[in-house]
Structure 1
Amino acid sequence: MFKTIALFTALLVTTGWGTAAAQEHTSGHAAHPSSTESDTVQIRSAKDLFSKGEVEGHVRNYFMATFNHGSLSDNYANAIGAEIGYQTASLHGFRFGFAGLFTYNLFSSNLGERDFIAEKHPKLELELFDIEDPHNKADLDRLDELYLAYNSARLRAKVGRFSFTSPLMNPQDTRMKPYSFQGIKVQVPLQDIGLFTTAWFDHFSPRSTVEWFKAGETIGIFSPGLDEWGNPSAYPHHTQTKGVAVTGLQLNPNKGLQAEAWNYWIENVSNNSYGKAVVEVAPQVKAGMEGLYQFQIGNGGNSENALVYFPNQQQWLVGGMLAYEPQNLHLSLNYLHISGNGRFLFPREWGREQFFATISRGRMEGLGQSDLLVAKARKKWAGNFSSELALAKSWLPAPDDYRYNKYDAMSYWGWVADLNYTPAKPVLDGLSFRLLYIGRTSPDMDIPLKDMYYNTNFNNINFITQLTF
């Protein structure tokens, strides 16, 4: 993969010199150039290719604190870090780019120490750093992107390491490190009415890690939970897959309709098909429907039943949304139902599901026979200030109903307050602040104290300061 990128880079530089030489022998007025031709005219040497490139990035400070129930330990952490990315100027539509990031534990509670009641590490604070090494405070750098891209009016392509966004696989850059992907992506614009995407990924660097892994190695890096019999899942390091093929069709033919369909074919593991449509049913009123269907491919990841990641099941879920959207305001009621045919399974290491009812810290992956109802309110205020409030009620299987409950999840009431502010003064351009508060409680359940740890009856506070350039 990277040998291919290096070869293409060499070709770009060589083409740059050839273009410069050709321009020195050209006279007269040329026809009106295309956008790619215009970019090429500006590149007169290999030096121009790089000196006229673009630098972007951000510096981020992230403070988090979690207050758990009773005598369970409370935790806090402050991470600081930065990401810097660069891409060359465009030459005949081609660009070479890379990005790296680092994180440093400025101060924190002892993240390497397990809670003496739950016997688990601090979950959310540890996700700011390296979940594979709770004691790692400084060696937290990562080459996040390294790619060759091509853009034209009819085709967009990228090969290497880069960010990718879709309903189930996405960067989710809300911690210190996003989910990153290695492979190839091709997109075809559909005459201003939509976009067709196809991609293949064989390596991943999950959020909250510092390494790159083969596709099969990633599955199980995050907590693997329990199998259908209540035993610790044995599939980590045993899932056999070469990667995932993704296809997507996004359509926006008019103001009143938005639709998308995606398919994720995980070689030797599972096939996952997702579709969504949002229709404007009346002025300022929208209704949406979504659905997902998944089934086993090959042997589900391993020929031994005890090591299978995706069992022989045919699972589905459906969701709905009804929204009222006057100017600068969004009010919606969102619903998600997961069937009782098994568990909804998709590698957590590749992103986070984005359904109508999705809220922060509210994954539904790993569950079956479940329902989630969420009311959301978003408002854009004057002065570059926005807010989002959400109230959620879930109905989940009992924590010991292992057939439908992979991670000991329990029914809860949850709430989210998300406040964002960007100063309007030019001297503070690029600066932004975010305050995120998540709470959860399960008042009607008799739950052992050790099972509440980062599961329910907690309050989580996040304050993020970011300078984007």
Structure 2
Amino acid sequence: MRSTFVLAVSLTALLWSGEATGQDHHTNIQHSTEASADTVKVTTVKELFTKGEVEGHVRNYFMATWNHRSLSDNYANAIGAEIAYKTATFHGFRMGFAGLFTYNLFSSNINERDPISEKHPKLELELFDIEDPENKADLDRLDELYLEYSSDWLKAKAGRFSFTSPLMNPQDTRMKPYSFQGIQVQVPLQQKGILTLAWFDHFSPRSTVEWFKAGEAIGIFSLGIDANGDPSGYPHHTQTRGVAVAGLQFKQSTRLSTDFWNYWIENVSNNSYGHAVLEVAPRVKVGVEGLYQFRVGNGGNPETKLAYFPDQQQWLAGGMLAYEPVNWHLSLNYLHTAGEGRFLFPREWGREQFFATLSRGRMEGTGKSDMVVAKVRKQWSGRFSSEAAVAKAWLPGAQDYRYNKYGATSYLGWVADLNYKPANPVLNGLSFRLLYIGRVSPGSDMPLKDMYYNTNFHNINFVTQLTF
């Protein structure tokens, strides 16, 4: 009942605001909407909805993790669905909304802490609600509710919706994606690129069911420790109105593409990221990337112990060398985080997408570290693909608090990822994914309790999805 009421009220509010917004946009860009006809002719309010589009998916997700020695092993099976609807387009405007729900079909005792580490099962719990481990059924969320406008030279969207960029993205690989509330404007640049401008002030992180203000969202995930080795004090104390995002994506030629993004988190930090990929020879590509961040305002709070971002300037750099014959991708990837501090960006807003990024692996929270990843990907057919990767990460010691926020340790990791869609027409829309992640730290002196979902584990995922 709660979700139905919220959806009804929000939809009503959006219809009223959409009417006013539509009048303003129509005044400013009237020449564009008159020049481009809508794909579906709408003559009545009823047809605005009856000629709309419905899409979504039903997903079943089984996950199991084997931890080191006497640390507890866990499993969980989540099942759920997302239903999305878009109205027909009227003079460039349309409205959309999406809702999803999840159920814990069966699982181990993920609401109980491991007796040795005194922590909850991290990965299995992320299928449901990390804020309430006891919650197994009330896992619904209004994921999207927006008004958008589209023409040949402008695309704009306001409300709650999905957003994709290198540091902020949906990452829809569990049961719930990262979702954002705000406004986004995109302007095509002479068929060679696109300019993106956005502002977000509310967030619904993956593995949660609520929406939070920008400052409230920071600190919902793992807190880690501060540079002095004390528990981080910024959760519930970060003061920020939101984040402004600017992106410039160019494809200068068939051989060169570049991306530049800037994330200005009001009163917290500024983060500039860029990467370029160049085809230096037939089927051979070279990529470079870099990120630079510095403090803005007081880092989130005037009290040093409560600030999210310390008084630091940090940077990272990465590279890629790839060979891509037909249907293959083979690459060697590298990432270095400098020793000026830690690379910090809210985990609740997405997952960094660097050349060396792997499933279940982040470099956020570290400094003075290096990572090398070898990737092999093969598209066997339009229905079957596989990917394998091996990674080696050199991280500061777990007690080196200045450069190690989450107590991570150096490791050797690997990933195997298989994706298959049945060829039988009767099974159209059905897909399967098998994902396996392993990580070991030979010779590590890390205490057993700190290894829990940190290293020396094996994680398997089997996802069945029907998309419609």
Question: What TM-score bracket applies, with the shorter chain setting the length?
Answer: over 0.9
* 3-state SS in 1 of match to 2:37: helix
The one-letter amino acid paired with 2:211 is: W
The one-letter amino acid paired with 1:217 is: E
| Per-residue deviation, 1:9 | 3.6
Task: Give the corresponding residue for 1:449.
Answer: 448
Q: Could you say if the C-alpha distance between residues 155 and 65 of structure 1 is closer, same or farther in structure 2, counting changes exceeding 3 Å?
A: same
Task: Give the corresponding residue for 1:177.
Answer: 176
* 3-state SS in 2 of match to 1:5: helix
Task: Give the corresponding residue for 1:44.
Answer: 43
Task: Give the corresponding residue for 1:266.
Answer: 265
Structure 1 vs Structure 2 CA RMSD: 1.8
| Per-residue deviation, 1:253 | 2.1
Whether the 8 Å CA contact 1:342–1:404 is kept in 2: the answer is yes
Aligned: 1:5 with 2:14: yes
* 3-state SS in 2 of match to 1:38: coil
Aligned counterparts of 1:397 and 1:229: Cα–Cα separation in 2: 15
Larger Rg: 1
Whether the 8 Å CA contact 2:80–2:103 is kept in 1: the answer is yes
Task: Give the corresponding residue for 1:202.
Answer: 201
Aligned counterparts of 1:231 and 1:264: Cα–Cα separation in 2: 28
Task: Give the corresponding residue for 1:367.
Answer: 366
Q: Could you say if the C-alpha distance between residues 14 and 182 of structure 1 is closer, same or farther in structure 2, counting changes exceeding 3 Å?
A: closer
Aligned counterparts of 2:163 and 2:382: Cα–Cα separation in 1: 31
The one-letter amino acid paired with 1:6 is: L
Q: Deviations over 1:1-27 (max 9, x none)?
A: 988733244469999xxxxxxxxxxxx
Whether the 8 Å CA contact 1:40–1:91 is kept in 2: the answer is no
Task: Give the corresponding residue for 2:153.
Answer: 154
Whether the 8 Å CA contact 1:99–1:146 is kept in 2: the answer is yes
Tell me, which stretches of 5 or more residues in structure 2 are unaligned?
A: 1-9, 25-31
Whether the 8 Å CA contact 1:13–1:49 is kept in 2: the answer is no
Aligned counterparts of 2:343 and 2:11: Cα–Cα separation in 1: 35
Q: Could you say if the C-alpha distance between residues 35 and 377 of structure 1 is closer, same or farther in structure 2, counting changes exceeding 3 Å?
A: farther
Task: Give the corresponding residue for 1:304.
Answer: 303
| Per-residue deviation, 1:242 | 0.1
| Per-residue deviation, 1:382 | 2.8
Aligned counterparts of 1:444 and 1:288: Cα–Cα separation in 2: 33
Task: Give the corresponding residue for 1:462.
Answer: 461
Aligned counterparts of 1:456 and 1:120: Cα–Cα separation in 2: 15
Whether the 8 Å CA contact 1:87–1:98 is kept in 2: the answer is yes
Aligned counterparts of 1:308 and 1:386: Cα–Cα separation in 2: 44
Task: Give the corresponding residue for 1:57.
Answer: 56
Whether the 8 Å CA contact 2:166–2:354 is kept in 1: the answer is yes
Task: Give the corresponding residue for 1:425.
Answer: 424
Whether the 8 Å CA contact 1:43–1:91 is kept in 2: the answer is yes
* 3-state SS in 1 of match to 2:15: helix
* 3-state SS in 1 of match to 2:389: strand
| Per-residue deviation, 1:38 | 3.0
Aligned: 1:188 with 2:187: yes
Worse-matched range after superposition: 94-103 or 446-455? 446-455
**Count of residue correspondences:** 452
Aligned counterparts of 1:2 and 1:291: Cα–Cα separation in 2: 41
Whether the 8 Å CA contact 1:319–1:355 is kept in 2: the answer is yes
Aligned counterparts of 2:94 and 2:353: Cα–Cα separation in 1: 30
| Per-residue deviation, 1:46 | 0.5
The one-letter amino acid paired with 1:409 is: A
Q: Please show how residues 44-193 of structure 1 align to structure 2 within 5 Å.
A: 44-193=43-192
Give % identity: 74
Task: Give the corresponding residue for 1:225.
Answer: 224
The TM-score with structure 2 as length reference comes to 0.94
Q: Deviations over 1:343-376 (max 9, x none)?
A: 0000000000000000000100000000000000
Tell me, which stretches of 5 or more residues in structure 1 are unaligned?
A: 16-32
The one-letter amino acid paired with 1:7 is: W
Aligned counterparts of 2:462 and 2:34: Cα–Cα separation in 1: 42
| Per-residue deviation, 1:44 | 1.1
Q: Please show how residues 289-328 of structure 1 align to structure 2 within 5 Å.
A: 289-328=288-327
Q: Deviations over 1:279-327 (max 9, x none)?
A: 0000000000000000000000000011010000000000000000001
Q: Please show how residues 23-38 of structure 1 align to structure 2 within 5 Å.
A: 37-38=36-37
Aligned: 1:357 with 2:356: yes
